[in-house]
Amino acid sequence: MKKHDIFEDYGKYILNTYTREKLIFVKGKGMRLTDIDGRTYLDFFPGWGVANLGHCHPKVMAGVRDQIGKLIHIPNNFYHPPQARLAKEIIRTSFPGKVFFANSGAEACEAAIKFARAYGQGKRFEIITTLKSFHGRTLGALTATGQPKYQQGFAPLPEGFKTVAFNDFDALAAAVTDKTVAVMLEPVQGEGGINVAGKEYIQKLRRLCDEKDLLLIFDEVQTGMGRTGEMYAFKHFGVTPDLMTLAKALGGGLPIGALVVKESIAGTFKPGMHASTFGGGPVICKAALGVFKALQQSRGKMLKNARDMGRYTMDKLTELKEKFRCIQEVRGLGLMIGIELNVDGKPVFDECLKRGLIINCTQGNVIRFMPALNVTQRQINQALGIFEKALAEVSPNS
């Protein structure tokens, strides 16, 4: 297909819900993407947080190849080996409990919302979430999302959600009523601009939830699977959530979502209360098992690399802040890094793209760097070199 035909067919046949760059990609390997003209790009935002192992990791591909010739789909009223193995891996690496498999982050969060309501038994149903959060686009997850811009035009939204400022324990405690059943938040807000929760804040939340019998739900759709330098971000805070949602990097590039529920309350969901036709299918589970295998075989090296390279990148960016006054703040955890600018971030994104570097800009002025966990110092230096040139181009006098 010619480039012109591809753009034309997108225009004619695909609903216009995305703002797209005029780039057509045909290949991905590790940290690199190749476009239709054969130009390669260094990808510092692989798959919006999906490709934590880089594009087309051999372990993920091997899992898919192995399964595809045996069994592609089997409904959830039967059993298959990969689902059992994957649930066991998730529980082994997180906390004792049980897993429900969905197909995306929004669906995992939707399952968490339904679970909390079931736990409240109709007497308690309110869920407290935080400003600048992002939980997905389905109606429940969208209402939980503390950003009115995404909700505009979709009223009426479901009842039973309250939103308070992130990292403000008193505001959250004051919002609890006798109808409250859960608190839901990202330990590091991603789409909201890389806002890291304070350790004390999270520990106070844990105590509050214990005192009031509230479910503490961590949305680890973006922070999970090593992104912050720990397998799951909750491990940084010295607490364990009651519910955790996963998606993005779990499937190594294939669509999957998961709700993890602690053992003592897992019986809240009974047969027939929730379901998914495709959730936890054999091929996707084998891909996810490939992700676990790669992380396990690295014997902690990949997580260590995420911590070390994250620190290195943040240090270098902090040095850059001295040079460019447009950089307001550098923040992050592991390889989940945000650079807040006092100028529009889109031209910086555009300049980086022109120079062969893919990054992301969220909230209008926060640049996100989220390279694969196995990124090298050389690749980081290359990306930082391009980023510096882009800043100099866009904001020369700052």
Ligand X SMILES: Cc1ncc(COP(=O)(O)O)c(C=O)c1O
Residue 224 in the binding site for ligand X (CB under 6 A): no
Helix (H, G, I), strand (E, B) or coil at 244: strand
Answer for which of 67, 130, 222, 374 binds ligand X (CB under 6 A) is 222
Answer for which of 82, 120, 187, 190 binds ligand X (CB under 6 A) is 190
Q: Which stretch binds ligand X (CB under 6 A): 104-112, 204-212, 262-270, 304-312?
A: 104-112
Q: Which stretch binds ligand X (CB under 6 A): 8-16, 102-110, 230-238, 311-319?
A: 102-110
Judged by CB, which is closer to ligand X: 109, or 128?
109
Answer for which of 111, 116, 144, 221 binds ligand X (CB under 6 A) is 221
The least CB distance from residue 191 to ligand X, in Å, is 5
Which residues are CB-contacts of 106 (< 8 A; sequence separation ≥ 6)?
135, 136, 137, 138, 141, 257
Gap between the Cα atoms of 99 and 93, Å rounded? 12
Residue 228 in the binding site for ligand X (CB under 6 A): no
234: tokens are 């909750």
Nearest residue to 76 (alpha-carbon basis) of 101, 95, 58: 101
Helix (H, G, I), strand (E, B) or coil at 67: helix
Helices (DSSP H) in 33-104: which residue ranges?
58-68, 81-93
Q: What is the DSSP letter of 73?
A: -
Give yes or no for a cis peptide into 96 (omega within 30° of 0): no
Residue 134 in the binding site for ligand X (CB under 6 A): yes
Tokens 């994957």 belong to residue: 86
Residue 187 in the binding site for ligand X (CB under 6 A): no
The least CB distance from residue 11 to ligand X, in Å, is 23
Residue 105 in the binding site for ligand X (CB under 6 A): yes
Contact 205, 183 (CB under 8 A): yes
DSSP string of 182-220, one letter each residue: EEEE-SEETTTT-EEPPHHHHHHHHHHHHHHT-EEEEE-
The least CB distance from residue 103 to ligand X, in Å, is 8
Q: Which residue is nearest to ligand X (CB)?
A: 105
SS3 sequence of 288-337: HHHHHHHHHHCCCHHHHHHHHHHHHHHHHHHHHHHHCCCEEEEEEECCEE
Answer for which of 191, 242, 340, 351 binds ligand X (CB under 6 A) is 191
Residue 231 in the binding site for ligand X (CB under 6 A): no
Query: What is the x/- site pattern for ligand X, positions 53-92, by CB under 6 A?
Result: ----------------------------------------
Q: Which stretch binds ligand X (CB under 6 A): 30-38, 89-97, 131-139, 227-235?
A: 131-139
The least CB distance from residue 246 to ligand X, in Å, is 10
Helices (DSSP H) in the chain: which residue ranges?
3-13, 58-68, 81-93, 105-120, 139-144, 148-151, 169-175, 199-212, 282-297, 301-323, 346-354, 377-394
Residue 219 in the binding site for ligand X (CB under 6 A): yes
Answer for which of 64, 87, 90, 109 binds ligand X (CB under 6 A) is 109
Answer for which of 43, 89, 186, 242 binds ligand X (CB under 6 A) is 186
Answer for which of 215, 247, 258, 317 binds ligand X (CB under 6 A) is 247
Judged by CB, which is closer to ligand X: 99, or 326?
99
Contact 228, 75 (CB under 8 A): no
Residue 135 in the binding site for ligand X (CB under 6 A): yes
Enumerate binding residues for ligand X (CB under 6 A). 104-106, 109, 134-136, 186, 190-191, 219, 221-222, 247
